[in-house]
Amino acid sequence: MSREAETHGSLSIDRERLPPRLAEHVQTIEKLLKKPLPEHFTAFYSTSDGLTYSASRGGSSLGIDATLCGLEAMFDGFKRHVQLRNEEAFDDFQGGDMYDAPFCGTIWSEDFGLEEKGALTRLNTMLRSKLLVSVPGAPDALVVDFAPKLKKGVAKEYEILLVSSGNDVALLDLDFPTFVRHFERFGATGWYYAFVGAKSARVLNIGLAATVKNGMSVFGPDLAQEIAALVTRAGTGT
């Protein structure tokens, strides 16, 4: 295990990285994904099996400890995900293997219903997503979809998403290296709302700038410039 520490005024940030286990799991992952793990993830997990974050001020924890999952936790023990073709398949799923499916109650809610337009597509996105971070103190998760659907004919290796309350899904406009850099700095304190688009903000029924500002207030004046930049980004969508 390797440890890292940095200070910013009265703020102390500590991180721990576990030894990498990618070589041990790479064949299993490729079999599950039916393709190699994207290069951005290979680069990170070649050096460590996840990352834990904590912050304190004056020796007192800020209560925002968070963990970027190792590979086994990311894939929920390397279970196979399911995809549902239609409402009949959903009904069978509810009456059958739902509770054994990956991330039941962690990423997606077992109370999910198909009443809303596009609900089955949204559920399938959550069902195939893998966990990056469970957000402390909130029923939310930051996840990665390694098989996103084509958008305007453009294929992507992966997309990073915010799943709220096991129901709503918001695309984050960032890649995994950028995600890691922000997690190393801020843990899971709400910075990611700066990367949510206006359409998703309406679905979540939140004001992005205010949500970023409130979520990051725990850092006080110590990282004021970085926080201000993220609040501005949230307010402008850029």
Helices assigned H by DSSP within the chain: 22-33, 39-45, 71-74, 87-94, 119-128, 176-186, 198-204, 208-215, 224-236
Q: Collect contacts of 200-208 with beta carbons under 8 A, ≥24 apart.
A: 200/162, 200/169, 200/170, 200/171, 201/170, 203/168, 203/170, 204/164, 204/168, 204/170, 208/234, 208/235, 208/237
Query: What is the CATH number for 142?
Result: 3.40.1580.10
Q: What is the pLDDT of residues 199-238, one digit of tens each?
A: 888 888 889 999 999 999 999 899 999 999 999 999 775 4
pLDDT at 187: 97
pLDDT in tens, 108-121: 999 999 988 899 99
Long-range contacts of 127-131 (CB under 8 A, 24+ apart): 127/81, 127/82, 127/83, 127/84, 127/101, 127/102, 128/81, 128/83, 129/103, 129/161, 129/163, 130/74, 130/75, 130/76, 131/69, 131/73, 131/74, 131/76, 131/103, 131/106, 131/107
| pLDDT tops 90 at residue 4 | yes
The crossing angle, in degrees rounded to 10, of helices 119-128 and 87-94 is 50
Taking the complete model, does pTM exceed 0.75, yes or no?
Answer: yes
What pLDDT is attached to residue 237?
54
Q: Which residue has the higher pLDDT, 47 or 235?
A: 47
How many domains is the chain partitioned into structurally?
A: 1
Q: For residue range 212-222, what is the model confidence (pLDDT) as tens digits? A: 999 999 998 99
Whether residue 21 has pLDDT greater than 70: yes
**Residue 68, pLDDT score:** 98
Look at residue 228 in the predicted model and tell me its pLDDT: 95
What is the residue range of 194's domain? 2-236
If one compares 132 and 152, the residue with the highest pLDDT of the two is: 132
Residue 63 banded pLDDT, cuts 50, 70, 90: very high
77-90 mean pLDDT: 95
Q: State the average pLDDT for the chain.
A: 94
* Residue 178 in this model has a pLDDT that exceeds 90: yes
